[in-house]
Amino acid sequence: MKTKEGFDFSKAKRGSVISHAGETRITIHLPDDVLMAFRLRSESAGIGYQTMIHEALRVYLENTGKPFEDTLRRVIREELCAVPDRTTEAISDAPGRPVRNTVPAMRKGEKRIPPAT
């Protein structure tokens, strides 16, 4: 099938003209106020609102993607560091026996938080 302009559409397909590698097209329902906020902020920042939504989602994933176990270990370490040394005697297996190491080993790069005073 040819048009007056000379274009041949016999092998044409309906749908997106340009495919984006590494992206998947989905339909998502966003509240009007959220979409409007992204559009307004993207205009003032000079970038597209979809790009801004992508960046917001990536930041969220980076900040909340840490396993629960890591967060729990950090909180336990903070609490154990805040406990005065004399209370560790109550944790020992038996009177006169040495106290077990109650502070978990620190991972590389972690900083010990000093006890609260």
Q: Where are the domains of the chain?
A: 29-83
The whole-chain average pLDDT of the chain stands at 77
The band of 64, judged by pLDDT with boundaries at 50, 70 and 90, is: confident
| Side chain identity, residue 18 | I
The band of 67, judged by pLDDT with boundaries at 50, 70 and 90, is: confident
Kindly give, in sequence order, each residue whose CB lies less than 8 Å from that of residue 39, ignoring residues fewer than 6 positions away: 49
pTM assigned to the model = 0.43
For residue 2, list its beta bridge partners.
8
Instruction: Mean pLDDT check: name the lowest of 20-34, 50-64, 76-90.
Output: 76-90
Length of the chain: 117
